[in-house]
């Protein structure tokens, strides 16, 4: 499969590294509006026997007939126009999350891919996280009963990271702040573990990182269709130790699962004895896993786990959260 990377920033480099590890794929080109950045990545990926071509306009890249698939790793507001142009050119697309910044744009992407008969997958890597997948298995086994409370906390200080990527600071280009950029990961993780969501209550905190136009800290309560509750906190401004950035706690009537996806440590307490049982999950590169899944779906014609339709639903939850924030924490039903 001949593929290209569109957007050569941090995410684009993660995708490039993942694609390079697949024996049945070949990166033939890269694209970035900053030509020097595209040329630098192309040089890194080129070998004595294979030259990777650099482009500064994705329209020129999409016209290359031999190109079969793309990783689109652009700022959020460009996901829709780039994806629609790519699928109309007959290319399969793996687009970074979020699918788009509006439901109308998401629908354009989904419809264009359907009309073109190509695969559209959203690169939501939490669905391929080995720790979360093990927690999902534990829940399905009935170990703690049907969950009634799920909590996930994304705490980190990323001010310098954001300053180096100024489009994140723009409400128009990013589509929002932490609630979209990080929150959509965690909304999807809770959908994966708890099922579909019927309503959202959300609030943003007093802003600490004043350079960003949107929220830098937010909290939300999610009501699931099955009666369970989910609690999310999201922040780009919390001085939190790396070992405590993403704890997940799932409570059921027969016990509790506590997991930390960065360390792969899962503790299960089911009321037996004074100590929880401990499981350590071997980490996997989620970018490699999602690219493998994408290739399999392109070859087999199966719908990806993180299809456009699936990730439109995650976006719908996030947008409901933004509406709740605008309405001073009102309950917004989906």
pLDDT tens per residue, range 291-334: 999 999 999 999 999 999 999 999 999 999 999 999 999 999 99
pLDDT in tens, 112-159: 999 999 999 999 999 999 999 999 999 999 999 999 999 999 988 999
Report long-range pairs for 268-273 (Cβ below 8 Å, ≥24 apart). Answer: 268/138, 268/143, 268/144, 270/143, 270/144
* Pairing assessment for the beta strands 247-252 and 149-155 based on DSSP bridges: antiparallel
In the numeric block, the tokens 């960065």 are attached to: 262
Sequence-ordered alpha helix ranges (H) in the chain: 10-20, 35-45, 58-62, 79-88, 103-116, 130-140, 159-163, 171-174, 178-181, 183-194, 286-300, 308-326
Fold category of 2-124+287-305 in CATH: Rossmann fold (3.40.50)
Kindly report the number of other CB atoms within 10 A of residue 215's CB atom.
Answer: 25
Query: What's the pLDDT at 45?
Result: 96
Q: Which CATH architecture has domain 126-284+316-333?
A: 2-Layer Sandwich (3.30)
Within the chain, which residue ranges are assigned CATH 3.40.50.720?
2-124+287-305
Paired sense of beta strands 217-224 and 229-235, if any: antiparallel
Q: How far apart are CA 252 and CA 140, in angstroms?
A: 12
Q: Which residues pair with 280 in a beta bridge?
A: 265
CA 93 – CA 317 distance, rounded (Å): 23
Per-residue pLDDT of the chain (334 residues; tens, 9 = 90+): 999 999 999 999 999 999 999 988 999 999 999 999 999 999 999 998 899 999 999 999 999 999 999 999 999 999 999 999 999 999 999 999 999 999 999 999 999 999 999 999 999 999 999 999 999 999 999 999 999 999 999 988 999 999 999 999 999 999 999 999 999 999 999 999 999 999 999 999 999 999 999 999 999 999 999 999 999 999 999 987 776 667 999 999 999 999 987 788 999 998 877 789 999 999 899 999 999 999 999 999 999 999 999 999 999 999 999 999 999 999 999 9
Q: Where in the chain is the domain with CATH 3.30.360.10?
A: 126-284+316-333
* Count of positions (residues) in the chain: 334
Which pLDDT belongs to residue 245?
65
User: For residue 117, is it left (φ>0), alpha (ψ between -120 and 50) or beta?
Assistant: left
């Amino acid at each position: 499969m001949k593929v290209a990377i569109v957007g050569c920033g941090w995410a684009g480099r993660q995708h490039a590294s993942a694609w390079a590890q697949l024996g049945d794929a070949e990166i033939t080109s890269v694209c970035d509006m900053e030509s020097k950045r595209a040329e630098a990545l192309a040089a890194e990926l080129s070998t004595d026997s294979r030259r990777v071509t650099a482009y500064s306009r994705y329209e020129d890249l999409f016209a290359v007939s031999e190109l079969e698939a793309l990783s689109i790793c652009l700022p959020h507001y460009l996901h829709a126009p780039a994806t629609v142009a790519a699928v109309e050119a007959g290319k399969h697309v793996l687009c970074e999350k979020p699918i788009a910044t509006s439901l109308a744009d998401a629908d354009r992407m989904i419809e264009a891919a359907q009309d073109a008969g190509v695969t559209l997958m959203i690169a939501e890597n939490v669905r391929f996280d080995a720790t979360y997948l093990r927690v999902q298995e534990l829940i399905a086994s009935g170990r703690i009963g049907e969950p009634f409370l799920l909590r996930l906390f994304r705490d980190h200080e990323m001010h310098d990271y954001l300053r180096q990527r100024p489009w994140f600071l723009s409400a128009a280009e990013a589509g929002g702040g932490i609630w979209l950029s990080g929150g959509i990961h965690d909304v999807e993780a809770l959908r994966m573990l708890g099922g579909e969501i019927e309503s959202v209550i959300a609030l943003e905190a007093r802003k600490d990182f004043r350079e960003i136009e949107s929220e830098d800290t937010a909290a939300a309560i999610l009501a699931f269709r099955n009666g369970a509750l989910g609690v999310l906190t999201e922040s780009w401004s919390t001085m939190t130790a790396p070992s405590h950035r993403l704890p997940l706690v799932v409570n059921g009537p027969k016990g509790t699962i506590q997991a930390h996806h960065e360390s792969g440590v899962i503790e299960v307490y089911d009321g037996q004895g004074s100590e929880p049982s401990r499981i350590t999950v071997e980490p996997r590169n989620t970018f490699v896993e999602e690219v493998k899944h994408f290739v399999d779906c392109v070859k087999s014609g199966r719908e990806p786990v993180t299809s456009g339709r699936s990730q439109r639903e995650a976006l719908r939850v996030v947008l409901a959260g933004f509406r709740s924030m605008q309405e001073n924490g009102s309950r917004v039903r989906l």
